[in-house]
Structure 1
Amino acid sequence: MKTARELAAFEARLGHSFSDPALLIRALTHSSISTEQRPSNERLEFLGDRVLGLVMAQALMQGDRKAAEGQLAPRFNALVRKETCAEIAREIGLGEVLRLGKSERMTGGRRKLALLGDGLEAVIAALYLDAGLEVAREVILRLWGDRLDRVADDARDAKTVLQEWAQAQGMAPPTYKVEGRTGPDHAPVFVIRATLPDGRSSTGEATSKRAAEQAAARILLDEVTR
């Protein structure tokens, strides 16, 4: 059970003090510890995904009034994908305050991409229900920061860019290998390693093999082009 001090510290990192603290508690409650009297954050996650999508779609349209739908769509996907949500969740220490069952705690649940991403979406829904859309929008845009400015580059197909980089270095294309799979059959999380011929490699995880390959390629590309 998280203490009032820990929750207050999280609110400070988030930038919002909840009028209804029960909303925040629910947003941080994973299904592994939920009961009929203590519901999980899954319904909030559903709502938060939609709130985030609306805020990002509007921000992208306002930020680039000449971009066609075909340009906006991959940028949108880059901003709302689970990897991005999990990255932001780590930045604000969301994993530290997640309420998890023993099995999830023992298997590193506080670091799992899916749990962090889902948790952030649930917190966004709690923000929306607690204070309305404008407050939720303000917090979201502050947390996402300059990602909106960088999204045109981030939205590129990382596997294609990495392959082009490797070929420019005189290398064969990178290879991709499944390193692991966790989660139930209806919501798997894949871990895939991308490896260059010179041995450099990185892993990525996502809820599909294709997305995990892209995540791994993106991380490796960032490392080799620094």
Structure 2
Amino acid sequence: MELTKKRKKQLSEFCDRVRISFNNLEHLDQAFHHRSLTNEAHGVKNNERLEFLGDSVLGMVTASYLYTKLDNPEGDLAKIKSVVVSEKALAPVALKFGIDKLLLLGHGEEMSGGRTKPAILADCMEAIIGAYYLEAGYKAAEKYVLSFIAPAVNEVVSNGVKDFKTQLQEKFQKKTKMCPAYELIAKTGPDHDQTFKVSVHLGDKTFGPVSAKSKKEAEQLAAKLALDKYSF
């Protein structure tokens, strides 16, 4: 799949935004290819193998960072690691990085809101890590991973292992004496495979919408997005 000038520009801008570098942008581009695209486009590789690799690199970098920086017992380290590398934690980072705009999806997945599905966003995050590891090696991949994992670890340590809605409510109430307001924007799909689109309002500011397979999960993701972007 030959890259257009527009696509090359988008990928280059992404690299600049997250401070990584690729000599061959086609390698990076593959990280954005969801399997639904390869089901519809003959000969196009998807990002699942890169995701497999990136998941391992992400886990190793995170475990090493936790071991080096914290003196907590193994149980605490495992709990913190599970939070910061989770789908719920990675998906808002992907949105912050603009990954949703670069995803290449099949028509069916596109129509069902796949561009903002947490699982697809988190998988793409891991695929990018895998691609960058192959491109630039472990130390470069480690630096990229720590750019978003280190702040996430610090947040979990300072707040305790609390869910994002709880963290947002505590911070927003402390600042304004008001509560966050969650709004269900849309509910689509059949009963067995629904997608929920939710926004959260902090006073006159709105964050989202974000999509997930349950209303509860969508609210958590909206809360995480607000935590990342609101000035407390």
TM-score, normalising length from structure 1? 0.71
Shift of 1:214: 6.7
1:19 and 2:23 correspond? yes
How do 1:169-208 residues align onto structure 2 when only pairs under 5 Å count?
none
Shift of 1:24: 0.6
Shift of 1:107: 3.1
Question: Structure 2: how far apart are the matches of 1:217 and 1:88?
Answer: 12
How do 1:106-117 residues align onto structure 2 when only pairs under 5 Å count?
106-117=111-122
Name the residue aligned to 1:100. 105
1:7 and 2:16 correspond? no
Letter of the 1:62 counterpart: T
1:48 and 2:54 correspond? yes
Name the residue aligned to 1:165. none
Residues 61, 14 of structure 1: CA spacing in aligned structure 2 closer, same or farther, 3 A cutoff?
same
Query: Structure 1 runs of 4+ off > 4 angstroms?
Result: 157-162, 179-183, 188-192, 203-222
Contact kept? 1:189, 1:206, Cα under 8 Å: yes
Shift of 1:12: 0.9
Contact kept? 2:113, 2:195, Cα under 8 Å: no
Name the residue aligned to 1:83. 88
Shift of 1:54: 0.7
- Bigger drift between 99-108 and 44-53 goes to 99-108
Secondary structure in 2 aligned to 1:146?
helix
1:124 and 2:129 correspond? yes
Question: Structure 1: how far apart are the matches of 2:103 and 2:154?
Answer: 30
1:64 and 2:70 correspond? yes
Residues 181, 57 of structure 1: CA spacing in aligned structure 2 closer, same or farther, 3 A cutoff?
farther
Name the residue aligned to 1:166. none
| RMSD over equivalenced CA pairs, Å | 4.4
Deviation by residue 1:77-131 (Cα, 9 ceiling, x = unmatched):
1110012111111111111111112223333322222211111111010011111
> Identity over the aligned pairs, expressed in percent?
36
Residues 51, 189 of structure 1: CA spacing in aligned structure 2 closer, same or farther, 3 A cutoff?
farther
TM-score, normalising length from structure 2? 0.69
Question: Structure 2: how far apart are the matches of 1:207 and 1:111?
Answer: 11
Question: Structure 2: how far apart are the matches of 1:127 and 1:60?
Answer: 22
Q: How many residues align?
A: 221
1:31 and 2:21 correspond? no
Deviation by residue 1:160-193 (Cα, 9 ceiling, x = unmatched):
999xxxxxxxxxxxxxxxx96869x89x97889x
Contact kept? 1:86, 1:114, Cα under 8 Å: yes
What are the ranges of 5 or more consecutive residues in structure 2 without an aligned counterpart?
Answer: 169-185, 199-208
Shift of 1:205: 6.6
Deviation by residue 1:142-162 (Cα, 9 ceiling, x = unmatched):
133522211222523679999
